[in-house]
């Protein structure tokens, strides 16, 4: 029997509020009131403050001195900036994966990518659960990170996960067929990684990131029109 410490209370609150931000039941720009949240969740105000600091680290809220916390905006400019750095970090991850290539580990990872890809390609719109699709993608990122053994890269990517999820969630809600599209791109990713060509892998990662960026930009423009 193994005992594991549960997530801290502030982490639990952060995940709860974070999830509401990702699915946009808390809207970009909306204020989050410490006291109100503390009352609703029946927790101390201090725990809510800690949760908000965790959410700030995850790029989901901004905290202004004396004015409190606000859900991060989702503008064309902010999404551009987000994808710029996220794509860069994914490229670094891809490069590092190939650098520390070892036959066994990489083929396990490639296998995982393939499985994930065929799962996605099978989803023709109906029955696709956005959260499941998103989680599967991030699990891959996490596994690749563990291979690379760079805790700073892993942490930085993890911290971007909720903000990227929020954009991806929006894409999958508006265009369910994107799940299958993503599957195709993942398949290409697996083939390229297996080929051990670093330059080509960077290119495919970039393509993948740019494809997502384009989708979310379209939807944001439609919304504001």
User: Which residues bind to its own copies, rule: CB under 8 A?
Assistant: 5-8, 10, 46, 49-50, 53-54, 57, 59, 65-66, 77-78, 81-82, 84-85, 88-89, 92, 96, 149-153, 155-156, 160
Cβ pair 190, 117 in contact under 8 A: yes
User: Quick one: 91 or 179, whose CB is closer to its own copies?
Assistant: 91
User: Quick one: 100 or 124, whose CB is closer to its own copies?
Assistant: 100
Task: Round to whole Å and give the CA distance between 16 and 110.
Answer: 33
Q: What is the rounded radius of gyration, in angstroms, for the C-alpha atoms of the chain?
A: 19
Q: Give residue 67's Cα distance to chain centre.
A: 28
Both structure tokens of 83: 């994808």
In the complex, what is the shortest distance from the CB of residue 48 to its own copies, in angstroms, rounded to a whole number?
11
User: Quick one: 6 or 127, whose CB is closer to its own copies?
Assistant: 6
User: Quick one: 74 or 179, whose CB is closer to its own copies?
Assistant: 74
Cβ pair 198, 98 in contact under 8 A: yes
Query: What letter would DSSP give residue 70?
Result: E
In the complex, what is the shortest distance from the CB of residue 225 to its own copies, in angstroms, rounded to a whole number?
24
User: Quick one: 87 or 189, whose CB is closer to its own copies?
Assistant: 87
In the complex, what is the shortest distance from the CB of residue 52 to its own copies, in angstroms, rounded to a whole number?
9
User: Quick one: 35 or 81, whose CB is closer to its own copies?
Assistant: 81
In the complex, what is the shortest distance from the CB of residue 121 to its own copies, in angstroms, rounded to a whole number?
31
The C-alpha angle with vertex 40 and arms to 23 and 132, in degrees rounded to 5, equals 25
Cβ pair 162, 60 in contact under 8 A: yes
Closest CA relative to residue 32, chosen from 46, 44, 48: 48
3-state secondary structure of 161: helix
In the complex, what is the shortest distance from the CB of residue 164 to its own copies, in angstroms, rounded to a whole number?
11
In the complex, what is the shortest distance from the CB of residue 185 to its own copies, in angstroms, rounded to a whole number?
22
């Amino acid at each position: 029997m193994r005992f594991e410490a549960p997530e801290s209370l502030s982490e639990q609150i952060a995940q709860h509020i974070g999830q509401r931000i990702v699915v946009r039941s808390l809207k970009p720009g909306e204020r989050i009131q410490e006291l109100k949240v503390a009352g609703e969740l029946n927790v101390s105000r201090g725990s809510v403050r800690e949760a908000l600091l965790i959410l700030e680290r995850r790029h989901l809220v901004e905290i202004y001195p004396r004015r409190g916390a606000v859900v991060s905006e989702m503008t064309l400019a902010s999404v551009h900036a987000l994808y710029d750095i996220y794509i860069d970090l994914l490229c670094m991850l891809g490069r590092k994966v190939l650098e520390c290539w070892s036959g066994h580990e990489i083929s396990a990872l490639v296998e995982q990518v393939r499985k994930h890809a065929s799962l996605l390609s099978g989803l023709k719109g109906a029955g696709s659960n956005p959260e499941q699709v998103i989680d599967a993608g991030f699990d891959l990122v996490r596994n690749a990170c563990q291979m690379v053994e760079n805790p700073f890269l892993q942490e930085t990517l993890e911290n971007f996960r909720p903000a990227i999820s929020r954009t991806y969630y929006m894409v999958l809600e508006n265009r369910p067929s994107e799940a299958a599209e993503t599957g195709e791109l993942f398949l290409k990713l697996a083939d390229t990684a297996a080929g051990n060509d670093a330059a080509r892998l960077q290119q495919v990662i970039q393509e993948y990131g740019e494809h997502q960026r384009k989708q979310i930009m379209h939807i944001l423009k439609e919304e504001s029109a």
